[in-house]
Structure 1
Amino acid sequence: MSIEQMTAKMSEGQGFIAALDQSGGSTPKALKLYGVEESDYNGEAEMFDAVHAMRSRIMQSPAFTGDKVIGAILFEMTMDRDVAGKPTSHYLWEEKGVVPFLKIDKGLEAEDNGVQVMKPMPGLDDLLARAFKLGVFGTKERSVINAANPVGIKAVVDQQFEIGEQVIAAGLMPILEPEVTITIADKAEAEAILRDEILTHLDALDESKKVMLKLSLPSVANFYKPLVDHPRVLKVVALSGGYSRDDANAILSQNTGMIASFSRALSEGLNAKQTDAEFDAMLQAAVDSIHAASIAG
């Protein structure tokens, strides 16, 4: 696996990143949307078997290829499993030309100062070393901003860049994800504070280092363009954040240089009971629409 090839694929960015990283708390919901009820599995082990089967089906679909899906974010348990007889990260890159990433955060702390910072990540260095060994290119870590609170937003961004430095030191590319909740009344104000905090950190970052950013779709088109254009940023990707796929695509297409990193908006409409032909056609339609929105800018 070539770091240079993966970096080039991300930098050129003619496509989007699939977020296949729902973890413990959101897995039952993801499965339910996929047509698998909680009564269909017994206990956590069977639940994770079911969600791996769903993710494997997506990855193995002919609709899921590196010409439009340039990256995929994996849950730790997905990284540790196989797809079609290969470690998931190897399968993605070698068979599909899709750059593998790993979700590393352990969830969120309770809200304080209008934000939720990430919980501690014991054993992070070991996890990063394991990911590097498996040919994973980068990581993703998420915090949440629920209010335009300067103190809270600074705490979120400080923590994101601190973890980002740890990821870079392990030879991986961090995707920093300070998500602004799309339903808050002061979303635009929160985005302005967030952009300034991120720019301050980027300007202080050593010239040898780069990060990626995963941000909520902004209230004003191209608001994050200064981040897109920053020399320390490899790529800015957008989360769908609760918007429907059509709405997320419409907003994304107005933002030059941002590409999608959608989770629920990608799997919308997929169902365990669909035939392979139905499943592949539904996924192809999703991939095509998200790809078109990602390159529209």
Structure 2
Amino acid sequence: MNQDMANQMRTAKGFIAALDQSGGSTPKALAAYGLSEKDWSNDDEMFDLIHAMRARIVAAPDFSGSKVLGAILFEQTMDRAFEGKPAPRHLWEDQHVVPFLKIDHGLEDTADGVQLMKPIGGLDHTLQRAYMLGVFGTKERSVIHAANPAGIEAIVAQQFDIGRQVLSHKMMPILEPEITISIPDKAEAEGLLLDAVLRHLDMLPDDTEVMIKLTLPETPGQYDALVNHPKVMRVVALSGGYDLNEATARLARNPGIIASFSRALTEGLSARQEDTAFNAAIGRNIASIYAASVTG
């Protein structure tokens, strides 16, 4: 594991940019960017457009390691280039931004109130490739839709199983058991999730660290035990459908947690903007998310 990257993620101020929209979420991301299905005729063209959007974000003057500690990439992005250099190498060597890779391949149907990850075929090979390309860690997402103890235990167990596989490749896993923001028993689900995560952390060897990505909680300080846990390198938060103002307000009420936003990060960006307007808009978003991430 790259110790310079580890030190940055463990102690530096800033947040993680989630630039990892996959095939299922790319059309929505492009729609928010002002592009519709009329702007592409096949998947290759669609992915070219989303990569151009990501490259534009990465090229913005405010997108640097002084505020953006890391960036989560889609696998196709890992295999493409920014500024003529492999994307992970460009991020770290030129911008001092730590690269992560999204590794999940979608979700199973809902059972016991949760959606587990589908099997991740060829994961060891993917992790080997990512490591050789300079990727520091991974992110893997599953979703909680209800405060169901059996379902939440199953989702946390799966997250930690995949996390141990990632650790075996000398990479840092970001475990992401997302709680849907609209469910009526969200606060109860957060309590069950915290208890399950703490139990599984206790089962890790003492010299092991993971990162954890969570939905912003209903009760400020809900996840303080994870923020302060010796086996947790960093707790990060997803925006989860909250707009930028709501996401940053909730984040600021939870000192020690930093952002890992996707939709909130790109709010207000448009393919039709001239570079000056685009850079100003992403700069404002970065400044807002950074300020909320360094509170406390």
CA distance in 2, matches of 1:203, 1:151: 19
Could you tell me how far 1:13 is from its partner in structure 2?
3.4
Match of 2:47 in 1: 48
Whole-angstrom CA distance in 2 between matches of 1:210 and 1:296: 23
In structure 1, how many angstroms separate the alpha carbons of the residues matched to 2:197 and 2:36?
41
Amino acid of the structure 1 residue aligned with 2:42: G
- State how far apart, in whole Å, the 2-side matches of 1:271 and 1:230 are: 40
CA distance in 2 between partners of 1:255 and 1:263 (Å) = 19
Residue-by-residue CA offset, 1:227-265 (whole Å, 9 max, x unaligned): 110000000000000101000000100101000000000
Rounded Cα–Cα distance in structure 2 between residues aligned with 1:79 and 1:176: 19
Aligned to 2:262: 263
- Mapped to 2, the partners of 1:270 and 1:66 lie a distance apart of 21
Q: Distance in 2 between matches of 1:41 and 1:112?
A: 35
**C-alpha distance in 2, partners of 1:63/1:40?**
28
Runs of 4+ in 1 over 2 A off after TM superposition: none
CA distance in 2, matches of 1:13, 1:113: 38
State the secondary structure of the residue aligned to 1:106. coil
For structure 2, list consecutive stretches of 5 or more residues without a partner in the other structure. none
Aligned-partner SS, 1:266: coil
**Aligned positions of 1:1-297 closer than 5 A:** 3-297=2-296
Question: CA offsets, 1:107-161, max 9 Å, x none?
Answer: 1000000000000001000000000000000000000000000000000000000
Cα distance in 2 for partners of 1:47, 1:289 equals: 29
- Per-residue CA shift, 1:167-212, capped at 9, x if unaligned? 0001100000000011100001000000000000111110121100
Letter in 1 for 2:195: D
Inter-partner Cα distance in structure 2 for 1:12 and 1:282: 27
What is the identity, as a one-letter code, of the residue corresponding to 2:170? Answer: G
**Equivalent position SS for 1:285:** helix
Structure 1 contact 148–189 (Cα < 8 Å) conserved:
yes
Cα distance in 2 for partners of 1:60, 1:281 equals 12
TM-score w.r.t. length of structure 1: 0.99
Mapped partners of 1:91, 1:61: distance in 2: 14
Secondary structure at 1:47 match in 2: helix
Deviation for aligned residue 1:77: 0.3
Letter in 2 for 1:97: H
CA–CA distance in structure 2, aligned partners of residues 49 and 137 of structure 1? 25
Q: How many residues align?
A: 296
Q: Give me the whole-angstrom Cα distance separating, in 2, the residues matched to 1:268 and 1:14.
A: 22
**How far apart are the structure 1 equivalents of 2:12 and 2:197?**
21
Displacement after TM superposition at 1:71 (Å): 0.4
For the residue of structure 2 that corresponds to 1:64, the secondary structure is: coil
Query: Given that residues 228 and 257 in structure 1 are in contact (C-alpha distance below 8 angstroms), is that contact kept between their aligned partners in structure 2?
Result: yes
Counterpart contact for 1:13–1:259, Cα < 8 Å? no
Query: 1:13 and 1:206 mapped to 2: Cα distance?
Result: 25
Gaps of 5+ in 1: none
Could you tell me how far apart the structure 1 residues matched to 2:210 and 2:65 are?
Answer: 21
* Residues 202 and 232, structure 1, Cα contact 8 Å, conserved in 2: yes
**SS at structure 1 position matched to 2:88:** helix
Q: Distance in 2 between matches of 1:59 and 1:14?
A: 19
